[in-house]
Chains A and B, each alone.
Chain A
Amino acid sequence: MTTDQDPGHLRGQLGEAVATMLDRQYSFEQRQQYREDPHGYSHDVWRAYAELGLLGLGVSEEHGGFGGGLQDMGVVFERLGAALNLEPLLTTIVFGGRLIDAAGSPEQKAAWLPPLVSGDLVVALAHDEPQSRYGSMSVRTAARSSSRGWVLSGEKRLVAGGDAAGLLVVSSLTQGEAGQEELALWLINPEAEGVRRRRRQSFDGGGLADIILDEVHLGPGDRLGGNGARSHLEHALDEATALQCADAVGAMAAANSLSVDYARTRTQFGAPIGSFQALQHRLVDMVIAEKMAAAMTEAALSALDRGRSDAAQLVSAAKVCVGQSARLVGQETVQMHGGMGLADEYPAAHYFARLGLFERRWGDADHHITRFAELSRQARN
């Protein structure tokens, strides 16, 4: 993406291009079909993402990417959230493209970025563990040094996109040069010896995997980001969280327009239910929730793009704010629709699932409120 044009204009074009593709390939009925695919998403759509250049978003141009920042990606994820997309795009872009681009060696970038950008590689982050909940740096998986490098063992849980991934970014503890324990990241082929993966399914669509790592042998070329891995990972988790907020904002906007349309057309007591003030006010509260979430998400994405020192704090703030909104909008979407809000063949319940599970990935409100408080205390000291 060239920089001599107005970024807002470019973002608009990008959003329209994605919207056009989704109109053609991601109607609700088509999505119902994609859910039946073996990985729970459409490979044709994945190709279409690659053709549109979405997989190269945020990846520098020298490695085949198309540049662009978080705010550009935010526009894309809003559209995808509105369409309830099922593909592991977020993990591939953030933990594949962005993270490898930022932290990888020249060899790692040359090996992994071109196939990723062309649509031939799904990447997942294998970081959460059974005991870790959302404690983002609570890792027990350990890599101990061996004669030829390291041997890694541990257990990773509910890895988003882990079932379809051709490359795993795995976190572990290891011993640093001064003998201290430090966080390390590894690029691991899920078919490698010692890796066992169990496919699981999430309630809102999209695949997961539990992954057992049993004496996986690794060399220096497999390590990502050296002893700077921890800050790279923290930053990538913030990016993922902020983009997930954009996804939820898109889902809320779509759910709200579904409810407003329904309120206009559904007649009870001789009038459209949207003419009843009790429901009008609740619909207004749903839209206020959506708009607050959208504004907060933009602020977080912009802070990340500008590298502001309070970016992490704004991401946590966005996660809390969007979470509250998502809860209200998801629940009210069902209630406004009555029985229709529960049916599988109608989108309302699917928005409820998407929005209701928003806080189950990358930290819930308690996690981010606590983190917000800690970060603001650090900023004061």
Chain B
Amino acid sequence: MHSSEDLAFAEDVRAFVKSHLDPETRRRVVNALPVPPEARKAWHTALYLKGWAAPHWPVEWGGTDWSPARSYLFSETLAEEGAPELSPFGLMMLAPTLIRYGTEAQKRDFLPKILSGEQQWCQGFSEPGAGSDLASLRLRAERVEDGWVLNGQKMWTTMAHRADMMFCLARTDPNAPKRQMGISMFLLDMRTPGISVRSIDLLNSKQTTNEVFFDDVRLPPSSLVGEANRGWDYTRVVLGNERLNIARVGLCRRQLKRLKQRAASEPDGRGGALIDGPLLRARLSAAEIELTAIEALSLKMLRRVEKGAVPGFEANMLKIRGSEMQQRLTELLVEVSGPGSLLHEEDPDDGSAALFKAHFDTRVVSIYGGSNEIQRNIIAKGVLGLGGRS
């Protein structure tokens, strides 16, 4: 599928990771250990200086003119090589939205700082009463003479405690004929008076996501993205349903490799190595076959995009199967590691994270960014033409 030029390019990417990524950072990524913010920043800077921080952006804003195939290969290769993922909120979610719908001033103010990594963003979408039914959101934004006043609450706001800025959805017209038509998108500084952040601990970890409260938060007119009451239309871009790498094949390839290494070194309790057991071999192979099929569908989508099509519903399908594959692989890693996966703390003997924690953390991938239930609803309606409640 990939041209020989692109395959040679992938080798350059591998070489770049080897020469520019701190081996300690790579070790932490591969072993599912936490990566310190400074190490993430250092990697962002390395990519930025090479001109690779946001290859999918237009050239005029610091992107590249790569083909979709090359962009795809780039991302998957980085993941496969154990590079930490850059925070997606600015680079992957907001920026494409601003490039398409933002004002010149917004692009000028934010895109360079997102590209360099000096400004971190968080995403204010979900609320206590608006999860899978995002359009029921209630954060209220009222138009006043000198801008907007926001009151309400966001929930599950990842990184809100570290972010400099937030993009959020708020209700600007409660009387719109359809709920989706009364929503607008805003950009705001997290230090704006009236904003407070409360952490939500996830199982066995501290400070990983947040609630954000808005109490008479005053924003200038320039904080609005695009047109008022059009925010819902922009969410498709934000949620990345058009993203080519949505199935995260590279990450899965890396996990599969680690899984096989682990199975080769783990004793089977009968004097041999675990990987020689036929039951486990069959499960590992079945997972690899499924991953190969996911990759085949990704590449098929990519070929259509190369001919000018938009990604379409394959992306929703790949979100479902890709998230399930990530979960399957962490679960297999827990199985393969046997009693050792009971441990809560990092295992000093093999430098791994608490393996069950990594498995638990992967549960979120079928929940966030439009849960798998919502993806299935979209396919049922959009592909199969089966209407229903929505």
Contact = CB atoms under 8 A, between A and B. Distances in A.
Interface in A355-375: 356-357, 359-361, 364, 366-367, 369-370
Contacts of A268: 130-133, 136
Interface residues on B, range: 35 or more
A360 to B, nearest CB: 5
B373 A278 contact: yes
Interface residues on A, range: 35 or more
A353 B129 contact: no
Contacts of B344: 200-203
Given A203-B204, A353-B356, A360 B269 contact: no
Given A339-B126, A339-B155, A353 B342 contact: no
B338 interface: yes
Most-contacted residue by chain B among A135, A203, A338, A349 (CB, 10 A):
A203
Interface string A265-300: 001111101001011000000000000000000000
Contacts of A360: 334, 338-339, 341-342, 356
25 contacts: A132-B269, A200-B343, A201-B345, A203-B343, A203-B360, A268-B130, A268-B131, A268-B132, A268-B136, A269-B133, A273-B132, A276-B389, A335-B372, A338-B132, A339-B367, A342-B202, A342-B203, A342-B363, A342-B364, A344-B201, A352-B363, A357-B342, A360-B338, A361-B339, A361-B342
Interface in A22-60: none
Contacts of A359: 335
Contact of B203 (A132, A353, A364, A367): A353
Given A203-B342, A268-B133, A339-B367, A369 B274 contact: no
Contact of A366 (B131, B279, B363): B279
Nearest to B345: A201
Given A133-B269, A366-B277, A343 B342 contact: no
Contacts of B280: 366
B175 interface: no
A133 B266 contact: yes
A339 B156 contact: yes
Nearest to A327: B331
A157 B132 contact: no
B270 interface: yes
Given A138-B271, A204-B342, A359-B335, 6 more contacts: A203-B341, A208-B343, A268-B136, A269-B133, A335-B367, A342-B360
B354 interface: yes
A158 B202 contact: no
